[in-house]
Structure 1
């Protein structure tokens, strides 16, 4: 199947801020080079974006203690590079179209546990928002720059 005929996967993403407005990022298990990302994932059939966001956050980080600060207007997209199309998501999608949420982590850091049922991450940390575009894989850089604009309007 040709790349452009593949649909975009419906997804969600979560910006998690701590008390200092630093952003949660984690290192993927399947790509343990020095690249980090914010939690994100797919939306199941019949699931709302809000429900998907809470489920993905719990599945990937064990985090439950959040306050939702904003659902960012519109959608954000990224396309997989050619070498990953056909590998990621069993070749069913060419990228993701995501609804993003800005949240505040209200729990204790002991709550954060990457050893979940199906672990996706091996390490996590808090970073300054301006560092986001520098830590992400290249094919998601534009998406992270767009998210950063939305985040800066919100936290400045």
Structure 2
């Protein structure tokens, strides 16, 4: 795996007015992006298209995965990497060519109405990734995700703690 590149990706910490973040419950694996029983929750994230600016990608991914469009920019991280777990699936899977993800995380403040949030409707030809969603304290999210993402989530919680107040 060390010879494979990292996939450019954005992560989204969408804060509500109470300082909680939106998390979605993944209902299926996606190649090396596995879920484990009891650890299906995560914040929205997604790939950066070729020649796409990360700030544009974060708003596109927020909309594709949640339906939300009402959000204000609060801040962003430097690039953070994580490796995928070992993957024995088909080498043609869209993520099989990557070692893991290289992410830029964005903190956004949700300014819309909760009825705007609809993770089940496919958008831009992308299948739904989440079958439910909820607001959660940022400092608790790392305990709800698969182990290979935990360190990234702890880092993000530290970087964006000021927005969770």
Q: Using structure 1 for the length normalisation, give the TM-score.
A: 0.91
Aligned to 1:76: 80
| Distance verdict in 2 for CA 1:153–1:20, change over 3 Å | closer
Q: Using structure 2 for the length normalisation, give the TM-score.
A: 0.86
Kindly state the Cα deviation for residue 87 of structure 1 after the two structures are TM-superposed: 8.0
Instruction: Kindly tell me the number of residue pairs found equivalent between the two proteins.
Output: 153
Output the CA distance in 2 between the equivalents of 1:87 and 1:144. 29
Runs of 4+ in 1 over 2 A off after TM superposition: 31-35, 83-90, 153-156
Aligned to 1:136: 145
Kindly state the Cα deviation for residue 115 of structure 1 after the two structures are TM-superposed: 1.9
Kindly state the Cα deviation for residue 88 of structure 1 after the two structures are TM-superposed: 5.9
Q: Which runs of 5+ in 2 are unaligned?
A: 29-34
Aligned to 1:96: 101
2:16 to 18, 21, 26: 18
Kindly state the Cα deviation for residue 114 of structure 1 after the two structures are TM-superposed: 1.0
Name the structure where helix makes up a greater proportion of residues.
Answer: 1
Output the CA distance in 2 between the equivalents of 1:128 and 1:105. 15
Query: Aligned-pair RMSD on alpha carbons?
Result: 1.8
Output the CA distance in 1 between the equivalents of 2:164 and 2:134. 19
